[in-house]
Amino acid sequence: MKKFAHVPEIVEFWGSMVEDESKHAKNLEEVYDTLTDVERSGPADSHLIRELRGILALRLEDVTGPVKTLDDAFNIANELEDSEVNAAFRTLMKKFIPKEKQRRALLETVEVHLARLTYFSENYGDSAWRKSIKAK
């Protein structure tokens, strides 16, 4: 957001993405709080654990690289949304949320988040335009 503060509609877009990420973190905390001590200390899916450990080892700078233009930021956001991070989030939601309604609501938050990227792509210019917006 700070890198594109000179373009108000872009700041609004990134702000909504940040809000979504905060909701995702809150969702995971809520799921964790519903688990029993037995569920928290029981055996975990080894494949999921490997994925999550790999994600936790990532540093954002290593994944993103430099952000010089709006197009860089947009492409990075798309890559991160398509990464194992969201796959792991979906897996956790499906596995640990017992009520179908809750599960559906949480997964919809992810879909809304992805829809924002699609909306951005369709409404804020093409790659050439995004490359013309320099990060500050």
Residue 73's DSSP bridge partners are none
Q: In total, how many domains does the chain have?
A: 1
Q: What is the pLDDT of residues 43-100, one digit of tens each?
A: 877 877 777 777 777 666 666 678 899 999 888 888 777 766 667 776 777 777 767 7
Mean pLDDT value across the chain: 80
- Work out the percent of the chain whose per-residue pLDDT is above 70: 82
22: containing domain: 2-132
Q: What is the pLDDT of residues 10-19, one digit of tens each?
A: 998 889 888 8
pLDDT value, residue 43: 82
Distance CA 109, CA 103 (A): 10
pTM over 0.85: no
Instruction: State yes or no: pLDDT of 26 exceeds 70.
Output: yes
Tell me: the pLDDT tens digits for 101-111?
A: 666 767 777 78
